[in-house]
Chains A and B, each alone.
Chain A
């Protein structure tokens, strides 16, 4: 795309509008993310809360962002990065022996929401989202 002055101004304007909209991941998630959530839940309703998600507020390096979750009673947990080219990050499965929590390091292309959806033992689903500011994106290139 040729970045003309007019385009640049338009983009800047759009960015300001976007930043003014309050972030609510449940409704702001991209179609790709929504499709991944639907594939995980089989289209079931997803409630909010019940999961503790720990992310840095600001990640200086998007190549390795530490995240941790605790989803008591969860059988399966999916981690999604809403602003990545492909939102899927990882899907955890826990047996009865395991505690339903985990930590890992993920790549974030840009500032975005990290969404965690858990399938609980009774077959219901719950989710939580957190915004992470990324200073240097982590998708190479």
Chain B
């Protein structure tokens, strides 16, 4: 199943802009490709990604089939205080994958 990987700094200064990288293993079947027998492979993608810090959404993405296999996102945000950054990926089949990383403000 979908295995997420994220890169988040463990610590930051208050108000510092940090860069986050996220990636999840997923085939992202676009619904356009065909198998060896020529049958269309049905669409099955991650259709939503979001990052939430201490319960407040930082950013979110609505994904279409034109996002590559193993969807990767890099984004930046200003860390206001110590807290948890929660990543969430939603599959077409309804499966939700979450990962949490703590950033400590020094």
Contacts and interface: CB of A to CB of B under 8 A. Distances in A.
Contacts of B56: 95, 97
A95 B58 contact: yes
Interface in A44-68: 63-65, 68
B25 interface: no
Contacts of A95: 56-59, 77
B65 interface: yes
A28 interface: no
A2 interface: no
A106 B74 contact: no
A99 interface: yes
Contacts, number: 99
B77 to A, nearest CB: 5
Contacts of B62: 90-91
Interface stretch (A14-22, A80-88, A116-124): A80-88
Given A140-B34, A141-B33, A90 B67 contact: yes
Contacts of A84: 66
Main secondary structure of the interface of A (DSSP, over half): strand
Nearest to B17: A99
Contact of A141 (B34, B61, B76): B34
A102 interface: yes
B64 A86 contact: yes
Contacts of A133: none
A64 B61 contact: no
Contacts of B80: 97
A24 interface: no
A107 B77 CA distance: 26
A90 B49 CA distance: 10
Interface of A: 63-65, 68, 81, 84-86, 88-95, 97-99, 101-108, 138-141
